[in-house]
Amino acid sequence: MKIKRLLSVAGAAAVLSAFFPAFAQQSKFEEVMSRGVLSGNVQLDAQMYFKDSAIGSPEVPEQFRSNSFAYLQYTNGKFSLGARFEGYFKPMLGYDARLDGWGVPYYFARFSGDIVDFTAGSFYEQFGSGMVLRAYQDWNLGIDNAITGARAIITPTAGITIKGLVGTQRHFWEHIGLIRGLDLNLAFNEFIKPMRDWGTRITLGGSFVSKYQDAENFRFLEETKNPQTGLTELSLKELNLPKNVASGAVRLGVESHGVSFDGEYVYKANDPSAENGYIYKPGQALLLNLGYSMRGFGFLLQAKSVDNMSFRDDRQEMGNYGFINYMPALTRQHTYSLASMYPYACQSLGEVAFQADFQYKIKRGTVLGGKYGTDLKLNASAAFAPERRNITNPNGGETPAQGTFGYDSRLFHLNPDEIYFVDANFEVQHKFNKHFKMTLMYMFELYNQEVVEGHGDPRVYAHIAVGDFTYMFLKKHAIRLELQYLHTKQAEQDWLMGTLEYTLAPSWFVSVSDQWNVGNNDKSKRYHYYYVSATYVHDATRIQLSYGKVRAGILCAGGVCREVPASNGVMLTMSSSF
């Protein structure tokens, strides 16, 4: 691993030194800089941890931990190159320990022409909705599955885009497997002249992605019953694992007079892994979206069915890491803390999910609309376990036997008795005058904690109420009060939360908040999770200093989640771009 880390640093340095051969001479350096643009951004997240046995915050030997990066990019016309340094000393709690260390894992040289766009080095990419390929980064979740290799994007004419790539995917400080991909997107209205004036826009696309991972035959012990003696016997089994796994997708999009429809179907060849129990069943998924928008009104209806679509660079990997693809979650991404206390993570091994989202603006000048109008939002989503029939376990039970086809299933056939998640919420936003505005929200939630988190109650019923009030005065001054209440008889019972924030625009933000577990049956465990923070912003620089307690839970973004341990400490965040 150390050798690969040194090679990555050396590779990035070689790219930069090749482009800037005169760094040592100030005059020549300035001459090179004058021909292009140098840009970048830096960020430091650091925390000092204090032991707090009351909330379960552990003693941290290092006490001070930090995550940081510095990204630098030089652009000159159609050419650009860049590199990103990352350092985790040690990784902050809640991030995978395998991130520990430092290096330059991301570096590239790119030519962006009118017809050909070519990248050598590291890059992020997504085909379609991402269900077959999505290489992306989410700093807050500690996820970065950038591909390092070569990518070409060819646009022979307007409306036709061809993408081809090959490379290895980042897996913390290593690169695992080999990924090859090809994507074609056709926007018919752009390259077919008679269709350019149509009111209907049609797009068609297709993708192919394969991964290669070297493999030794997988051996395991299998329990069988001797039909003659009736005794349980152990026998050694061996599986021949595929080194190449292919997947493909087709997608269609149509837009006409405010109505939009798009759908994508994905198929993945058999891919035995630790996550699916080493079964040989192929995977598939179907995503459908139907939307409509007009002045003051819009809606979006979505449906998704997923079966055995975990697609990773390492068949032994579990959790949130090593994914080649991405399964979008059909749930609203809440920003209020109690509304997101029980967030949902997409179940890539199988789920059937639906979502409906409606938005309506009551006109200005009406009784309910007032001077500025009133925004209404209604959202509902649900996810279920797929209906499956175990066909291969000779000993019975729900778990399919390793090395077999596993089970029978069909898209959009769900098990109504096994609900993963339900979220129904209604939100009202109203501005009374130029000084005062208000947001009110009610949310009902059914959360299968046992499935999503691997422990707890399979039926957590929660009711959440939120009130968000902002009063602006003296032009640049504002006070915001946020009140939240969560009621449930399961999990950790009722919670209260309050936040008071003062803003002196455009530079200063100060806030005080507290989460209180008021409903815990054990009164000695009704803890206060108070939090104080101050933020300073100047141009593109942001500095935030905070102190407080964070409860253990789940942090999600876009249906991808990570566990956050309880902590008590001082946190510093600094970011800047130029």
Question: What SS3 string covers 86-129?
Answer: EEECCCCCCCCHHHCEEEEEEEEEEEECCCEEEEEEEECEEECC
Beta strands in 243-323 (DSSP E): 244-256, 259-268, 283-294, 297-307
Predicted pLDDT at 3:
42
Predicted pLDDT at 401:
79
Predicted pLDDT at 562:
82
**Low-confidence residues in the chain, pLDDT < 50:** 1-25
Q: How far apart are CA 473 and CA 459, in angstroms?
A: 45
Q: What are phi and psi of 463, to 5 degrees?
A: -120, 125
Q: Which of 466, 462, 516 is nearest to 489 (CA)?
A: 462
- Cβ burial of 1 (10 Å; 0-12, 13-18, 19+) is exposed
Residues forming beta bridges with residue 362, ordered by sequence position: 374
Within a 13 Å sphere around the CA of 256, how many CA atoms are in the beta-carbon half?
11
Predicted pLDDT at 528:
93
Which pLDDT tens digit goes with each residue over 226-256?
667 767 666 667 788 899 999 999 999 999 9
Q: Furthest-apart CA pair in the chain: how many Å? A: 89
Q: How far apart are CA 74 and CA 295, in angstroms?
A: 42
State whether the Cα torsion 83-537-332-55 is positive or negative: positive
**String of b and e for 328-367 (b: at least 16 CB within 10 Å)?**
bbbbbebebbbbbbbbbbbbbbbbbbbbbbbbebbeeeee
Predicted pLDDT at 541:
96
Predicted pLDDT at 32:
55
What is the chain's percent helix, strand, coil content, to nearest 5?
A: 10, 60, 35
pTM of the model: 0.88
Q: How far apart are CA 398 and CA 391, in angstroms?
A: 10
How far out from the chain centre does Cα 190 lie?
Answer: 32
Predicted pLDDT at 474:
86
Could you tell me the two tokens for 314? 């390492």
Q: How far apart are CA 342 and CA 332, in angstroms?
A: 12
- Considering the chain, what is the average pLDDT of its residues? 89
Q: Which of 150, 221, 223 is nearest to 180 (CA)?
A: 150
Which pLDDT tens digit goes with each residue over 374-392?
999 999 999 999 999 887 6
- The share of the chain scoring above pLDDT 70, in percent, equals 89
Q: How far apart are CA 323 and CA 315, in angstroms?
A: 10
Q: How far apart are CA 118 and CA 108, in angstroms?
A: 10
DSSP string, 436-485: EEEEEEEEEEEE-HHHHHSSS-S-EEEEEEEEEEEEEETTTEEEEEEEEE
Could you tell me the two tokens for 309? 């679509």
**String of b and e for 130-147 (b: at least 16 CB within 10 Å)?**
bbbbbbbeeeebbbbbbb
Q: How far apart are CA 77 and CA 540, in angstroms?
A: 24
Could you tell me the two tokens for 305? 């069915």
Name the CA dihedral angle for 185, 187, 193, 198, rounded to a multiple of 10 degrees.
160
Predicted pLDDT at 296:
92
The radius of gyration of the chain's CA atoms, rounded to the nearest angstrom, is 26
Predicted pLDDT at 393:
63
Could you tell me the two tokens for 2? 């150390």
Predicted pLDDT at 1:
42
Q: How far apart are CA 541 and CA 217, in angstroms?
A: 53
**String of b and e for 398-409 (b: at least 16 CB within 10 Å)?**
eebbbbbebbeb
